[in-house]
Amino acid sequence: MARRAGALQIEESNMAGVHEFGRIKFPRGEVLASSARRNWTGMAAEIRNHPAGEIPPPVPQQMEVTLALRGSDAGRVERRGNGEFQDTAARAGTLWLCPIGVVEDSIRITQDLGSILHMYIGHEIFRDISASVSRAVSPETISYRADIDDDFLRQVGYRISAELEEETSVGRFLVDSLARSMAAHLVAKYADAPLPHRQSPTVEHTKMRRVIDYINDNLASEISLSDLSDIACLSHHHFARAFRSAVGVPPHRFISSLRLQRAQEMLAHTQSSLTEIAYSCRFSSQSTFTRAFRRHVGMSPGEYRRKAAG
């Protein structure tokens, strides 16, 4: 968001710069969680507490989606952009959209707001969608909206929030997939011209076999959506849909399941420590690994190892 004169410009390809954008836009907003050190692609995100008062509004160079995770029963957000005034109750679940390039004259928060999630989607995601549908898709055509009732955006926001608060082994991959799904949804539902209907893409059996072999061979390494879509010879957006259609689950969930299966094998057949297994399976810490393992298997890694030994 921004003033007409001397507006702040952020390089669209540099998602790390978004956090500097957030610092300038919200100079008094306390950062509760941030993707600054997560090496995410396609999207950056922050959770902030916002004190009441005026916010200096720079012109965004990323699509901004804001979700009140907690908000306030009485607080309101007043903002004016592109000549339109919006006065919105900032209760939990409230959503705001601010497209790239929108010129906002003012933003005012009437009461302190807690746990506000700001998600920023980069230009490159929309370029990938354009390539997928063979026509130009511009994020600038998305509507400047407030207080929209969109459960899809809320659920994506809640998942991004959970990833910020507790990093998973496939977090970077998951966020990239969610950024693309969110961007396609925004264009389909809120852009001036909707996307044309297309049949679901498919992946040839031999290419899907190569994708799965690559995943199995690289479980201990970083696996990106770009790597897999290149192997399948599909755009990122089409690959994620085709993979789910072929396998039954999204790519990030498939990878997570394989890594947890690998962890089970290591627990049963090696003397590696829990910390070594956690890092080998791309978890950020032993505690994060333990929680994910318990959800997947129904017992802790230590319990599983003792049971396997007995």
Q: Which residues contact 210 (CB under 8 A, 6 or more apart)?
A: 231, 232
133 pLDDT band, cuts 50/70/90, is: low
**SS3 of 30, please?**
strand
Which tokens go with 185?
Answer: 């949804």
Average pLDDT over residues 241-257: 83
Instruction: Name which CATH class applies to 17-189.
Output: mainly beta
Residue with tokens 């959800």: 295
pLDDT of residue 39: 83
pLDDT of 18 reads 64
pLDDT at 135 over 80: no
User: Which tokens go with 6?
Assistant: 């001397």
Angle, alpha carbons 6-58-125 (nearest 5°): 120
258: Cβ contacts below 8 Å, ≥ 6 apart? 215, 216, 219
**Per-residue pLDDT averaged across 183-207, rounded?**
70
Lowest mean pLDDT among 76-85, 95-104, 192-201, 243-252: 192-201
In the prediction, which pLDDT does 152 show? 97
- With a cut of 60, say whether residue 12 has pLDDT above it: no
- What one-character-per-residue DSSP string does 190-255 give? HBSSPPPP-PPP---HHHHHHHHHHHHHTTTS---HHHHHHHHTS-HHHHHHHHHHHHSS-HHHHH
Give the integer Cα–Cα distance in Å for 121 and 36. Answer: 14
Q: What is the CATH number of domain 254-309?
A: 1.10.10.60
- pLDDT of 42: 83
The per-residue pLDDT for 21 is 67
Whole-angstrom distance, CA of residue 103 vs CA of residue 82: 6
Tokens 């790239």 correspond to 100
Between 152 and 36, the more confident residue is 152
pLDDT: which is higher, 2 or 204: 204
Quote the pLDDT of residue 201: 54
Task: Give pLDDT, residue 112.
Answer: 94
Angle at 146 between CA 101 and CA 16, to 5 degrees: 45
Percentage of residues in the chain with pLDDT exceeding 90?
A: 40
Looking at 9-62, which runs of residues are DSSP E strands? 30-34, 43-50, 53-54
Q: What separation in angstroms does the CA of 136 have from each of 97, 119, 161, 238, 293?
A: 21, 23, 31, 16, 43
User: Taking all residues of the chain, what is their mean pLDDT, rounded to a whole number?
Assistant: 83
Compute the distance between CA of residue 196 and CA of residue 217 in angstroms, rounded to an integer.
Answer: 37
pLDDT for residue 139: 72
Output the pLDDT for position 266.
93
Q: What is the pLDDT of residues 251-282, one digit of tens each?
A: 888 898 899 989 999 999 999 999 999 999 98
Q: Are 44 and 181 in contact (CB under 8 A)?
A: no
Q: Which residue has the tokens 């720079």?
A: 58
How far apart are the C-alpha atoms of 231 and 221, rounded to whole Å?
16
The whole-number average pLDDT for the span 243-253 is 82
Rounded Cα–Cα distance for residues 243 and 143 (Å): 31
